[in-house]
Structure formats: C-alpha cells, structure tokens
Structure 1
C-alpha cells in the first residue's frame, strides 16, 4: 500500500478476529516502531505482546485495576472486550527525567510515535487495530506485571487482529483551515 494512501485511510477498528500477526510480521511491525523519531537515540519504550493465555492474565490485571481505582461497572466490563481480541500490544514509555538534553515530554512523544508506527505497520500488513488507554493502565498490579519503574507510563494497549468486517464508511476528509496557520 502506498504510504500516503495508508495515512489517509487509517482508522481504528475494535471488531477484530483471528489471525493476529505472526512472529515474522511482529518483527516487521517492531522494526517500524524502532524508526520513530528519537532525539538522543534513547528508545524510551518497551512493548509487551499479549496473546493466548496472556490475555486471560491481562483480564485479571485490568479487573484488579478497575477495582483498585474504583472504576464503574461500564469501565470494568471493557476488560473482557479488550482481552477478547486476538492480540494486545502494551506500550510502556520509559521516561528518564534525569536527561537534560532530552526532556521527559520528548521521550513521551517518541514512545507515542513508536506506538503509531506499530499501528501503521500492522495496518499495512493487513491487520486492523485500535489504540486504547483508560484509567486502568495505572493499576498497581498491571504496572508490576509490565515491570514499570516509578517514572514509566503505560501509554497504550493496542488491540490487534483481522477485521471482522470493513467499516461502512470511508473516513471523512477534515478541513485543515481550522488547524493550519502560516507564519
């Protein structure tokens, strides 16, 4: 797929089924993530691939986070939807606040760019996905399972798989006039 075509037609899709990317496809997806802009070449991110039995463990962790953080029933119920997907890739931003040359916000942006690169590479390989967060990413058991340090932040749970069906509508073009200015 042409790069511009991919960017213009990318969209989120929560209605996923098997298959998910295989090991070779995941290797390509992560290579794309490693190409994200990265001031200082810090690679301030880690990726956790969750599939099979790992999805059952993730569901337990998300439900524990919902209880710990006093989330409502609707939020807690989303754990089952998330873990009912073929694959989830968690992205942890590894922030080092002691690096003066590369402030924490730049490191966070790099992790975000790597996350988006995962989405684009997966889409290019024929897999639909959606990037979600939610308050439960701050659950202590989840952070422990993801081996998060004190300054680390879980920034994404990417649900990934094959589209059950294609969306009915094409994405609507956005008028850039409200967002673009020239100096």
Structure 2
C-alpha cells in the first residue's frame, strides 16, 4: 500500500481476532515507532506488550484502577472487551520536566506520534487496531506494572489483531475547509 493511501484510509477497528503481529512484525512496528518526531532526540516513550497470560494481569489492573478511581460501572464492563484483543501495546510517555529545551508537552506529543506510528505500521502489515485510553490509565497499580515514573503518562493502549469483520461504510472524511485556513 502506498503511504498516502494508508494515511487516507486508516481506521480504527475494535472487533479484533487472532492473529496478532509475531515477533518479527513487532520488531518492524517498533522500528517505525522509533522514527517518530523527537525534538532533542530524547525518545520520550517506551512500549509494554500485553499478550497471552498478560491479559489476566491486565484485566486485574484495569479492574483495580476502575475501583481506585471510582469509575462508573460501564468501565468494569469494558475490561473483558479490552482484554479480548489478541495483543495490546501500551505506550508510555517518559516525561522529563527538567529539560528546558524540550518542554513536557513536546515530549508528550512525541510519544503520541510514536503511538500513531505503531498504528500505521501495524495497519501496513495487515493488522487492524484501535487506540484507547480511558481514565483507568491513571490507576496506581497499572502505572506501577507498566514501570511508570512519577511524571510518566500512559498515553495509549493500542489493541491489535486481525479484523473480525470489515466495516461496510467508509469512515467519515471532514470537509477540508472546516479544518484548513491560510494566513
């Protein structure tokens, strides 16, 4: 697929089944993510792969976060849906507030770009995905399990796999004039 076609047709898909990327494909995906824009060459992000037995622990961590943060019942119901994906890649922004040259918001954006690169690379390799977060990414046990330091932020849980079904309708494209202006 040509790059422009990939960018113009990428879409989220929550209905995922096996297979997920194998080790070689994951290496390709992470190599793409490491090329995200990065002022100061900080690489202010890292990745946590959840697969197989890791889903039992992730379900427990998400449930604990929902309890800790007093989230609504709907969050508890989503745990099983999230953990039914064949693979999840968590993206953690490693924020260093002591670097004056690269403010924290730029580091966060770089981590976001790395997350999007994961999505694009996976899509190019034939895997569908969806980026979710939710309030539970601030759960203390989840943050500890993901090795988060005080200023780190879990910016994405990217669910990966093969599309269980293809969507019939195309994603809605916005009118360019609603998004683009010239100075």
Q: TM bucket by the smaller chain?
A: over 0.9
In 1, distance between residues paired with 2:145 and 2:77? 21
- 1:76, distance to aligned residue in structure 2 (A): 1.2
In 1, distance between residues paired with 2:109 and 2:15? 28
1:17-73 per-residue CA deviation (whole Å, 9 max, x = no partner) reads 000000000000000000100000000001000000001100000000000001111
Residue 136 (structure 2) pairs with residue 136 (structure 1):
yes
In 1, distance between residues paired with 2:55 and 2:91? 15
* Secondary structure of residue in 2 paired with 1:161: strand
* Secondary structure of residue in 1 paired with 2:119: helix
Q: What's the TM-score once normalised by structure 2's chain length?
A: 0.99
2:4 is aligned to 4
2:160 is aligned to 160
In 1, distance between residues paired with 2:98 and 2:78? 36
In 2, distance between residues paired with 1:15 and 1:40? 38
Greater mean deviation of Cα atoms: 84-93 or 172-181: 172-181
1:61 is aligned to 61
- 1:81, distance to aligned residue in structure 2 (A): 0.6
1:119 is aligned to 119
> What are the ranges of 5 or more consecutive residues in structure 1 without an aligned counterpart?
none
> What are the ranges of 5 or more consecutive residues in structure 2 without an aligned counterpart?
none
* Secondary structure of residue in 2 paired with 1:97: coil
1:102-128 per-residue CA deviation (whole Å, 9 max, x = no partner) reads 000000000000000000000000000
2:79 is aligned to 79
- Residue-pair matches, total: 183
Moved over 6 A (4+): none
Superposed CA RMSD in Å reads 0.6
- 1:75, distance to aligned residue in structure 2 (A): 1.0
- 1:132, distance to aligned residue in structure 2 (A): 0.2
